[in-house]
Amino acid sequence: MIKSATAAILAVFAAGLLAYGHAFDQQYVKHYALITVHQTGRTLGFSPEDMESLLYPPGGIPGYLAVPRYNSSNGKTYHTTIYLDGLHGGSQPSMGSSIIRSWGPADGRKRGVSADVALCETPDGARRRLDSFGQLTSTPLAYRSYSGQIIGVGSWSNPQFGGMIAFAVGRMFVVVHVSDAELSRAERDTSAEAVALSLEYAYRGRPDLLLGVDLPKRPEVLVKGEHGRTEMPVLTYNGLTWAPLELFKAAGASASYDFAKNVAKLAYGGHRLTLKPFDRSATANGKELDLPAPVLLWQGQPIVPLRAVAEALGFAVAAEEGRITLTPPR
């Protein structure tokens, strides 16, 4: 049954993708066996691979795996649906492409995490979707996050059931659901915010998704008088500066992340810090430390609130216009 379904999918993919100029080989076929791609007209120029770059990969969330779900319209199962075109309705229709993916706990329970990410033609289109989202559901929504954390240019949350955040930034409109029944209500709310914030960090680092609006500051970071260079960016927006874990290695700290256990550890001098992506607290020298925002995760690397983590490691943090200086303890 899987082979016959896969053959049918591949036949459709081969015709459609070749017609639109995409490379098509066995690796591509294998990768998209559980992904359905819809394209019938004008697109925004993003390929299926481009759309996938907007979201965690199938195994990109610790403890979860992408879960195939039954599609009643064609009797097949997919864990990801990609729309490369389509006129999205409402009072002010707009063009957009989207990717929808669901993850379930690795132990086989059905409910987990899902995300619906829409790439709009313009930032104005993303804001229109955000503005109208609250009127599209039967459950009253609140125009704020659960914690009060600013997400994107604004966000909706579901105060009745929890675990849902919708936000917009640049050309992007995103809806995140965390429904894992093994998590408490507070854990679902925090996890939904953390996933949303992680996606926001990813989009803020891509000018092609912002089109000149919602641009973050990219501060110069000096560590021991030298530039703290990182592969992933240090970004400042909505009152916080976010930094990848590798920045602290440049500062001389030891830093590691175990994806399977979802635990990050940092040490500098006599300071020890343990962090978990998607949590709002850390353990500093054996004591709980509240963080101003959850630890994020993108491309397999924790992204942390810079000042809070640096100070927990004993560094002094000085911020001037466009520059952040980390000074180690004497």
**DSSP string of 167-193?**
EEETTEEEEEEE--TTS-HHHHHHHHH
Within the chain, all domains assigned CATH 3.30.457.10 are found at 220-327
Give the C-alpha separation, 250 to 18, whole Å.
Answer: 45
Report mean pLDDT in 10-residue bins for the chain, 330 residues.
29 31 30 68 82 94 86 78 66 70 80 91 92 84 96 96 96 95 94 98 97 95 87 96 95 95 96 97 96 97 97 95 90
pLDDT of residue 17: 31
Beta bridge partners of 305: 242
Give the C-alpha separation, 42 to 188, whole Å.
Answer: 37
Q: Which distant-in-sequence residues (6+ apart) come within 8 Å of 212 by Cβ? A: none
pTM reported for the whole predicted model: 0.86
Beta bridge partners of 88: 94
**Cα-Cα-Cα-Cα dihedral of 132, 138, 144, 150, to 10°?**
-60
Positive or negative CA dihedral for 147, 152, 156, 158?
A: negative
Backbone angles phi, psi at 94, to 5 degrees: -150, 150
Q: What is the DSSP letter of 34?
A: G
- Enumerate the H helices of 205-256 as residue ranges: 207-210, 246-250
Give the C-alpha separation, 13 to 29, whole Å.
Answer: 8
Beta bridge partners of 298: 301
pLDDT of residue 3: 28
3-state secondary structure of 5: helix
pLDDT of residue 173: 96
pLDDT of residue 36: 83
pLDDT of residue 96: 79
Assign domain 220-327 one CATH number from 3.90.1570.10, 3.30.457.10, 3.40.190.10, 3.40.50.150. 3.30.457.10
pLDDT of residue 86: 55
pLDDT of residue 19: 31
Give the C-alpha separation, 4 to 1, whole Å.
Answer: 5
pLDDT of residue 288: 97
The secondary element (H helix, E strand) that includes residue 276 is: none
